[in-house]
Each structure stands twice: as structure tokens, then as C-alpha cells.
Structure 1
């Protein structure tokens, strides 16, 4: 059981790291191409894509967790924890913007 959780956590980490790497490079290329206005457009596009992917990923993740609950592979507490994980991940972009604004940027 512990080995499966470790593998799942490792998969979540690499999935998150991949998207962070992809979306951190996107605004840089936009900045090189069109200056600050190009970077702002690239960031706006990246935000839209991030929210879309997070929403789709959250829906699929919760469907899988619900299916596992139906099969009695997990309990209600694990389903609740999955829901909390989804809420935290969904709130991260807004939290990042809030922290960015704290610095006066």
C-alpha cells in the first residue's frame, strides 16, 4: 500500500513540475517576441490555459476518486481529502496573484 501511494505522489509531482516548466517558459518567449505587452498577452493566454487544464484535471481526478469509492477501494475520508487537494490546487493561481500584488508589482 505504501509503495502505491509513493508512486502516485511521484506521478503527481512530475505532472505538476511539467506544467510549471511549460508555463514558465511561455511568458518568456512572449516577452522576447513583443516586449512587455507581448509578455502580458502571453501571461493572459497562459492563465487561461492553466485554468482550463486545472479544471479538466480536477474533474477527471474527482471522477476517478468517486469511482474508487464506489468500488470500495477508498473511504469517504480519502474522497474528502481528494476534494481538499483539488480546492488547494484550484486556489494556487489566485494565491500566486495575491502574493505578486503584495510586492507592488
Structure 2
């Protein structure tokens, strides 16, 4: 099992990966949610946070760093967040080509 510090390091690595992909500076906001299976992180562009109105306009779904493996699980923004948690927890989260990200290779996979 990974420690919270190791999980945070993986989350930081993924955010840096996303910044390079999206060509924009990103930041975490709202802390993180701690679940028995890992920590869920929320992020958006730095420009949105610096605007200071407390509203996040872009639809970036949060992501989970699994405590057991360090794998990133991406969630969308289509459904309420609790729905994503529920389907992850019951094992029915549908795989997509960018659902899982592996920090050791910095690549996505559907499994």
C-alpha cells in the first residue's frame, strides 16, 4: 500500500503530464477526497483559479490514485461525481483508451 506522500507524488507527476499534453498550467483545488482504495484529486487551469470568482468553468474530471497500485483512474465530468465513485466501487466503470494512466511508463491504457 502506498502512503499519502507517495500518492501525492504520483498525482503531481500526472498533473505535470497533463500540463504538457494540454499546453497549459494546471493546479489542484479543493484538496482531495480520501477513500479506502485511494485519493481523489481535483484540478483545473491556473487561470481559472486566479480569476478568483470561485467558479470552475472547464470540465476537467477528477482522478483517483489507487492506493494499492499507484495507477491513475480518470473520471469524467458527464455524470455526478458520486456516480463515478459508485461504478468504480462496484467494478462496472467502463474502460476507455484513456481511463487508466500508469506513472512508471507515463502511458494510458484501457486496462
Q: Answer whether TM exceeds 0.5 for this pair.
A: no
Larger Rg: 1
TM (norm. structure 1) is 0.25
Would you tell me which structure has more helix in proportion to its own residues?
1
Higher relative contact order (CA 8 A, sep 6+): 2
Would you tell me which structure has more strand in proportion to its own residues?
2
TM (norm. structure 2) is 0.23
